């Protein structure tokens, strides 16, 4: 999965959250695209992969900006977690990254939309 500022297919920069269909060459990339990044502005981003509902969602600044079906079979990555790096290309984020939270289940919508310093998690499975 990747949560990043990247270019849409039309070429305009946008916040994006997506994942590949499989951990193999030729995999399909599917993403949701939100608003445009603003250079120099801190932005609260939340990407949710909801395997139960087969959906990926992107929250920007506490608002759900995009959602789409993700109907591929989930797969387990065998490599370590990479933050701020695109492993296959050796590219690194040209940005400040802070306050990262990773959960092993999908956040409920109200928690994903919270923008506080340490949002209270209502309930995780």
Q: What is the pLDDT of residues 20-52, one digit of tens each?
A: 888 777 888 888 888 888 888 888 889 898 988
pLDDT value of residue 68: 92
For residue 67, pLDDT over 90 is answered with yes
Q: What is the DSSP string of 14-77?
A: EEEEEEESSSSTTPPEEEEE-SPP-TT----EEEEEETTTTEEEEEETTEEEEEEE--SPP---
Where does the pLDDT of residue 90 fall: very low under 50, low under 70, confident under 90, or very high at 90 and above?
low
Q: In the chain, what are the domain boundaries?
A: 2-112
Reduced to 3 states (helix: H, G, I; strand: E, B; else coil), residue 85 is: strand
């Amino acid at each position: 999965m990747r949560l990043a500022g990247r270019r849409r297919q039309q070429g305009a920069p946008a916040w994006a959250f997506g994942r590949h269909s499989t951990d193999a060459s030729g995999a399909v990339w599917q993403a949701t695209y939100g608003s445009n990044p603003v250079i120099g502005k801190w932005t609260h981003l939340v990407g949710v992969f909801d395997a139960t509902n087969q959906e990926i969602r992107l929250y920007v600044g506490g608002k759900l900006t995009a959602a789409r079906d993700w109907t591929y079979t989930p797969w387990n990555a065998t490599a370590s977690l990479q933050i701020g790096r695109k492993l296959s290309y050796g590219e690194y984020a040209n940005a400040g990254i802070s306050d990262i939270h990773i959960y092993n289940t999908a956040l409920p919508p109200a928690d994903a939309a919270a923008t506080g310093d340490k949002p209270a998690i209502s309930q995780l499975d």
